[in-house]
Amino acid sequence: MAGAQDPIRQQLIEARRNQILDAAAKVFAAKGFHRTTTKQIASEAGVAEGTIYNYFDSKGDLLISIMMRLSAVEDVGMELAEALNRDARGFLLAIARHRMALIAQNYETLKAVLPEMLVNPDLRDEFYSRFAQPLVTLLEQYVRARVESGDVRPVDPPLTVRSVQATFIGLMILRFLGDNVLASEWNELPEALVDLLFNGLSAEEAA
Amino acid sequence: MAGAQDPIRQQLIEARRNQILDAAAKVFAAKGFHRTTTKQIASEAGVAEGTIYNYFDSKGDLLISIMMRLSAVEDVGMELAEALNRDARGFLLAIARHRMALIAQNYETLKAVLPEMLVNPDLRDEFYSRFAQPLVTLLEQYVRARVESGDVRPVDPPLTVRSVQATFIGLMILRFLGDNVLASEWNELPEALVDLLFNGLSAEEAA
Amino acid sequence: MAGAQDPIRQQLIEARRNQILDAAAKVFAAKGFHRTTTKQIASEAGVAEGTIYNYFDSKGDLLISIMMRLSAVEDVGMELAEALNRDARGFLLAIARHRMALIAQNYETLKAVLPEMLVNPDLRDEFYSRFAQPLVTLLEQYVRARVESGDVRPVDPPLTVRSVQATFIGLMILRFLGDNVLASEWNELPEALVDLLFNGLSAEEAA
Amino acid sequence: MAGAQDPIRQQLIEARRNQILDAAAKVFAAKGFHRTTTKQIASEAGVAEGTIYNYFDSKGDLLISIMMRLSAVEDVGMELAEALNRDARGFLLAIARHRMALIAQNYETLKAVLPEMLVNPDLRDEFYSRFAQPLVTLLEQYVRARVESGDVRPVDPPLTVRSVQATFIGLMILRFLGDNVLASEWNELPEALVDLLFNGLSAEEAA
DNA sequence: AATGAATGAGTCTTCATTCAT
DNA sequence: CATGAATGAAGACTCATTCAT
């Protein structure tokens, strides 16, 4: 009897958790973690305040759980396994598209988590090791290889790669800050970005 | 009598304000705005809690004042008036150096202000209109001009310019997140960055 | 149909009530009434939280019911009807043994009830009128009679009797407080106690 | 300047602490620790809720501090140094008077602390080692010596001594429970008690 | 102008109790 | 009857702000 209910109960629990996390992410994104009260989250989720604590340990646990849910979505390795086989431009474009899509699809979550992350060591380390570091490492290996093969100019790989990574992050921040152009042209960004990063601004041919 | 003292009094007041703002910026940068108590700020500044309120309206006013002090430092127009006369590469390098230096010199202030800015509309607008927008506007004008003159490839100016601006911001964020390479190689960044943005990654000549 | 089930149902209900009360007494004794949650009681009893409320009105009702169950055990009159016929020493010994045994056999229950009793008027009155008062009254009558008959010295009956009663209570408290000697020598207590109360400490003969 | 204020400030702090502890003890005694709210304590003390936390870490700290203040009052060694030189009866009387007076003078404090002590290990250990244990130890040494010297009958010292100690505690409990006789005759208790403990109930001469 | 004790509104969190299944 | 998720009132505690000295 209970055997059949267990999976159902698990699903209900998961659904309720997501319901609460969605509400929390929405309010955190709108007002910031500290300005958000548990009462507001409960109200947004359509549950009582106490219900939140049947599913999460604390308000801080909500934020961490929001980020964990994002981690589950992120999967650099998979997506880019195929990209590695492309030429440099194709690779860069795949990365850029993947990144911009990730940001667009998780806009609220990221807006909820990022400001607090800059200030909370636990979240920071989690983010850095899950999102920032893996991409930097992967890019660095790729750039080194392509510099050796001659496809890419002899740039400084660590700094170059961090600059590329920084561009993704900075564009997200600029969107958070309310930049209207980015909001409306977000889908054009990967192309423009790759054009910039791959070909550079200079009209002159590289000597 | 008061006539002679006024300027002196003004200086004393200004000194005390700075003493408090320095302390506040330091603690905000270390623990975040909301986790910082006025007691901690007072302790760091070596004054009593009440004294803070003789110079500032509220805790929030401290943050705004910290940012205002940064605004006073920033002076895009001045610095770049001369840069406009250089060639594209020189211009970009001047901008990058200026930006990286600004970040390095105001590291604590920026770390104090930025996370809260993402969450506080007042601060956000102030930052966007003072720091982000002016540079974007200036860059955009420059890029348009140089595209026309043929010095710069026919890129999409708005997106390109935002990407450049985003890179500066993203590098700052990555430093906040504790990236060691950026911390130690910060001074090498402008060259590497300009090399990337101006020449691009591609080893092939632009057709 | 229900006619035959009634007695059985009554037994089942009684069994379930006792199961819950046993669990409650155990946890109350270990952690105190207020620090105990209904969830802990349910868990200890092996039932769901809601089930408790099918048998008891409230958490407080559990405590009162625990005490009522103790009242049912206690039966001063019965036990001492025979003791009244003994000589003074035998009577005192019978009382002491009865009391110490009662405490030992209901250690957990008493430890659960007593601290809260000191603080809860309802429980206090119940305890005082059921346990303290009857014994005091009985002892007082007995002492008065024996003083008149000359078996007992001309003591102040009310104060003497309360002192004797106090000794029982105090020994229980000292055990609650973790006194190791009392825990291991509890069975020797009645003899030692009667020796003290009956003969006194003095080596000199009463003049 | 500040040199002269320090002692004054210390006195003010001590006065405010005592004001709050008095209020807390009063309300704890009346309603019990857990049923007392910090708001009630504040109201009773005539201060704001927050003020309590300028002087104490937590509600629990109030209780511990109440007990500590009692510890400062208690001074078994001093009082009884002189009593040791008396004969057995005089010694017992001195102890009894000292104990009954201590209870009477700290009635509220004890009523506040004792119930929670039975349930809180920290308080329990503090009480046992400060109040129960020292008196037991001292009595035990005294009884052993007097048994040897022949002034006291050959009783079992550990159990006898604990019984005496238990009587003091039990009398206190009976008062807490609302015994009217004890409340009105408290001052007569030491004599009656010593009469009982020293001479015993028996009218017969010890063989 | 400086101080820091006092304030009390505001928040997170707990947990006894209810009730739909 | 049994269950346990949902509830929300209640309470301990924090901390920005005030103000008498």
Residue to substitute from C31, C59, C201, C204, interface D, most D β-carbons within 10 A: C201
Q: What is the pLDDT of residues C12-22, one digit of tens each?
A: 999 999 999 99
Q: Is the CB of C54 under 7 A from strand F?
A: yes
The whole-number pLDDT of residue D7 equals: 80
Total Cβ atoms within 10 A of residue B4: 8
Token digits for B104? 């390095």
Closest-approach nucleotide to residue D38, Cα vs C1'? F12
Token digits for C64? 């009162």
List the D50 CA – F14 C1' distance (angstroms).
Answer: 9
The whole-number pLDDT of residue C136 equals: 87
Do the Cβ atoms of A203 and B206 come within 8 Å? yes
Do the Cβ atoms of A192 and B34 come within 8 Å? no
Residue with tokens 């405590």: C63
CB < 7 Å to strand F — which of 60-99 in chain D?
60
Across B30-39, C69-78, D51-60, least confident range:
C69-78
Token digits for A47? 């549950």
Q: Give CA–CA dist B197/A90, Å, rounded.
A: 18
Q: What is the pLDDT of residues B140-157, one digit of tens each?
A: 988 998 999 888 999 999
Do the Cβ atoms of D159 and C189 come within 8 Å? yes
- Whether residue B75 is predicted with pLDDT greater than 70 in this model: the reply is no
Length of chain C: 207
Q: Is the CB of B35 under 7 A from strand E?
A: no
Token digits for B34? 């909301």
Residue D71's pLDDT band (boundaries 50, 70, 90)?
Answer: confident
Residues D37-46: b if buried by 16+ CB within 10 A, e if exposed: ebebbbebbe
Chains that touch C (3 or more CB pairs under 8 A): D
Average pLDDT of the residues in B161-182:
94
Average pLDDT of the residues in C33-57:
97
Residue B52's pLDDT band (boundaries 50, 70, 90)?
Answer: very high
For residue A179, give the DSSP letter.
-
pTM of the model: 0.90
Query: Considering CB atoms only, which of A143, A165, A199 is closest to B202?
Result: A199
Residue D138's Cβ-count burial label (10 Å; 0-12, 13-18, 19+) is: middle
Closest-approach nucleotide to residue A59, Cα vs C1'? E12
Q: Are D30 and D21 in contact (CB under 8 A)?
A: no
Token digits for B191? 């060259």
Length of chain A: 207
Q: Do chains C and D have 3 or more beta-carbon pairs under 8 angstroms?
A: yes
**How close is the nearest chain A Cα to the Cα of B89, in Å?**
8
**How close is the nearest chain C Cα to the Cα of D48, in Å?**
26
Nearest CA among C55, C58, C53, C72 for reference residue C9: C55
Total Cβ atoms within 10 A of residue B164: 23
- Which residues of chain A register pLDDT less than 50? 1-3, 206-207
Average pLDDT of the residues in B78-91:
77
Average of per-residue pLDDT values in chain D: 89
Q: Which residue has the higher pLDDT, C205 or D149?
A: D149
Average pLDDT of the residues in C21-27:
97
C206 three-class SS:
coil
Q: What is the pLDDT of residues B21-48, one digit of tens each?
A: 999 999 999 999 999 999 999 999 999 9
Q: Is the CB of A15 under 7 A from strand F?
A: no
Closest-approach nucleotide to residue A51, Cα vs C1'? F6
Residues of D in contact with C168 (CB under 8 A): 166, 170
Q: What is the pLDDT of residues A137-150, one digit of tens each?
A: 888 988 999 999 88
List the B70 CA – E2 C1' distance (angstroms).
Answer: 28
Query: Considering CB atoms only, which of C163, C173, C201 is closest to D192?
Result: C163
The whole-number pLDDT of residue C1 equals: 46
Residue D150's Cβ-count burial label (10 Å; 0-12, 13-18, 19+) is: exposed
Q: Are B5 and B46 in contact (CB under 8 A)?
A: no
Token digits for C189? 């207590």
Residues with Cβ within 8 Å of B73's Cβ and at least 6 positions away in sequence, in order, are: B102, B105, B106
Phi first, then psi: give them for residue A87, nearest 5 degrees.
-75, 170
Q: How many CB pairs under 8 A join C and D?
A: 219
Do the Cβ atoms of D203 and C152 come within 8 Å? yes
Q: Give CA–CA dist D164/D194, Å, rounded.
A: 10
> What percent of chain C has a predicted confidence (pLDDT) above 70?
92
Q: Which residue has the higher pLDDT, A36 or C84?
A: A36
End-to-end alpha-carbon separation of chain C, Å?
A: 76
The whole-number pLDDT of residue D104 equals: 94
Do the Cβ atoms of B177 and A120 come within 8 Å? no
Total Cβ atoms within 10 A of residue A66: 24
Q: Which residue has the higher pLDDT, B18 or C87?
A: B18
Residues of B in contact with A196 (CB under 8 A): 155, 160, 163-164, 197, 200
Q: Give CA–CA dist B172/B165, Å, rounded.
A: 11
For A32, left (φ over 0), alpha (ψ -120 to 50), or beta? Answer: left
Q: What is the pLDDT of residues A45-80, one digit of tens each?
A: 999 999 999 999 999 999 999 999 987 766 666 666
